Each structure stands twice: as structure tokens, then as C-alpha cells.
């Protein structure tokens, strides 16, 4: 299950939309060219699975998407809390980088969440769409779309990344601090989990 929250770009004081219905989310994102779909979840895949395990579990889905979209490079990115003394610094640096609003000139940003969660914030057409993705969610953000990503203060996710270009992730940062005006991952996720617990 995922969550879409939409506000005016001026700030979160006015709520435009809030839904966790997958069909509504896909329909709301389609007009801005964003692909949202859900793949079957492989419950036997550990949250911190390595690349070989992930590719073996989702090979059919990966091949199908590659054939549809012409991706040339696929990899697996994971970040999970651990006893590694370097984890806090790695997590802080990774979060700070992606929290800056940016675009991509040469490639789409396509991610499938194998485990965990994160939020893509899409700044399009005078609105900000916060898409909380969880295990089983695939999101495709078209090149040129202004956005940022928040993985929270304690990142925990594994995602498959798809690229058309071998250069991989190359961001063009706008310098706009718009992300500071909107609820972060921890705030949205905490509210979402409370709502789910009481539903």
C-alpha cells in the first residue's frame, strides 16, 4: 500500500488530495507522465537481500519492463540500519543529497521498492505530489520532472533502479529550498502508520 498527498507548491497549508487507493494514485499521476504500478511482492525475499537474490526473485518483471522501456542498466540499491559504525554518516549524507530539488536531463528515474519505503516529491504544474512508496511499488518519474526524494532519518529500503544511460544517476540541482516547506518522510510516514493502525 502506498500514499499520495498533493498540496499547492506554496505550502502544505491546503490539502488538494490524499489517497491510498492504487487506482486513484495511478490516475492522478498519469497526466503528469508519472508511471505508478504495483508488482507482486515476494515475501521470501529478505528486506536486506543482496542483488543476486533480488534479481532472481524479480527476474521476470525486470525483463518485461526492460523490453517495454529499453533500459540498458539495472542495479539494486539498499540502505538499512545496522551495527556498522559508518551507517549514521552514510545515511545522513545520502539523505541530504536526494533531499535537494533536482531534475534529470538524460534519463527517467524508475524505482521498484523490494522492501522498506521512501517518498518521492514531484513538483509539477504548481503542485507538489508526495508519493510514499512501499514494498511492491514501482514509480517512474520522467526526465525533466522537478522532484526530490526523502528516505527519512533512519533509511531502510532496498530498491531496483532502471537506467537508459550507463552514467546512472545524474542530478541537476535547482538550488530551490522548497523541500524545507513540506512535511518530511518521518512526519508523513508516522501519520500514515497511525492511520493504518486505527483503520
How far apart are the C-alpha atoms of 130 and 123, rounded to whole Å? 9
Q: Which residues are annotated as a binding site for Ni(2+)?
A: 102, 104, 109, 147
Which domain covers residue 156, as residue numbers?
3-198
DSSP structure class, residue 192: H
Residue that has been written with the C-alpha cell 520522467 in this structure? 142
Q: Which residues are annotated as a binding site?
A: 102, 104, 109, 147
Whole-model pTM: value is: 0.94
Residue 1 confidence (pLDDT) above 90: no
Q: Which residues are annotated as a binding site for Fe(2+)?
A: 102, 104, 109, 147
pLDDT number for residue 168? 63
Q: pLDDT of 15-26, one tens digit each? A: 999 999 999 999
Q: pLDDT of 149-184, one tens digit each? A: 999 999 999 999 999 877 667 778 898 999 999 999
How far apart are the C-alpha atoms of 74 and 29, rounded to whole Å? 24
CATH of the domain at 111: 2.60.120.10
Residue that has been written with the C-alpha cell 507482486 in this structure? 40
Number of structural domains found in the chain: 1
Amino acid at each position: 500500500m502506498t500514499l499520495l498527498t498533493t498540496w499547492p507548491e506554496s505550502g502544505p497549508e491546503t490539502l488538494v488530495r490524499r489517497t491510498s487507493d492504487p487506482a486513484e494514485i495511478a490516475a492522478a499521476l498519469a497526466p503528469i507522465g508519472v508511471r505508478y504500478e504495483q508488482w507482486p511482492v515476494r515475501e521470501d525475499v529478505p528486506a536486506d537481500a543482496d542483488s543476486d537474490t533480488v534479481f532472481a526473485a524479480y527476474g521476470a518483471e525486470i525483463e518485461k519492463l526492460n523490453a517495454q522501456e529499453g533500459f540498458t542498466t539495472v542495479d539494486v540499491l539498499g540502505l538499512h540500519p545496522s551495527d556498522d559504525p559508518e551507517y549514521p554518516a552514510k545515511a545522513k549524507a545520502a539523505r541530504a543529497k536526494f533531499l535537494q530539488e533536482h531534475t534529470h536531463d538524460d534519463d527517467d528515474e524508475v524505482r521498484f521498492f523490494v522492501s522498506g519505503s521512501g517518498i518521492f516529491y514531484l513538483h509539477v504544474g504548481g503542485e507538489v505530489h508526495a508519493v510514499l512508496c512501499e514494498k511492491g511499488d514501482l514509480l517512474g518519474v520522467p526526465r525533466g520532472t522537478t522532484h526530490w526524494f526523502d528516505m527519512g532519518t533512519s533509511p531502510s529500503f532496498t530498491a531496483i533502479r532502471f537506467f537508459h544511460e550507463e552514467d546512472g544517476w545524474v542530478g541537476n540541482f535547482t538550488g530551490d529550498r522548497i523541500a524545507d516547506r513540506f512535511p518530511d518522510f518521518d512526519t508523513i510516514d508516522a501519520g500514515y502508520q497511525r492511520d493504518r493502525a486505527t483503520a
